[in-house]
Amino acid sequence: MNPPSRVLQALEKPLSPAERPGAVYTFRILDDRGEFCLFKVGRTSRDWRKRQAEWANCDEHEQVWFEDPVYVSSCHRVESVVHKALEEMGYQRIREPCKKCQRVHVEIFAIPNPNAWEEVIKPLIEEIGMEVQSRM
């Protein structure tokens, strides 16, 4: 018998009262590592452009923001489940200190596909967003 996946376990947990609607956004960090591209998958309950401005002060590498974040009813839960799903799909989470702020940004994934936003990440966010919504 296989244990339930971390994705399924996260989907089945009750939502926190602190859960908020918001945007799940992605940007590509132009610090590619050989065959891998780096994608940051984050969330905000504020205007995502304000979050974009904050990130501009953090990473030393150029960022390519995808201008079509996915708006969901429970952005914290959706982001968390998307991260777990990306890991279960075999994508490595990058856990290195940021050279500017020294924090480890755990929302960064190495994916061997420069088109991962359109082909992997955005469809995954949309699917998980609908699944979370259906469980409310």
Model pLDDT for residues 40-89, shown as the tens digit of each residue: 999 999 998 888 888 877 767 788 999 999 999 999 999 999 999 999 99
| pLDDT for position 83 | 97
Tell me whether residue 32 is exposed, middle or buried, using C-beta atoms within 10 angstroms of its C-beta: 0 to 12, 13 to 18, 19 or more.
middle
- Under a CB-based contact definition with an 8 Å cutoff, are residues 33 and 110 in contact? yes
- What is the reported pLDDT for 56? 76
Whether residue 31 has pLDDT greater than 90: no
Q: List all residues 6 or more positions away from 8 whose beta carbon is below 8 Å from its beta carbon.
A: none
CA atoms within a 13 Å half-sphere pointing along the CA-CB vector of 74: 23
Q: Over range 119-123, report the average pLDDT.
A: 97
pLDDT at 2: 55
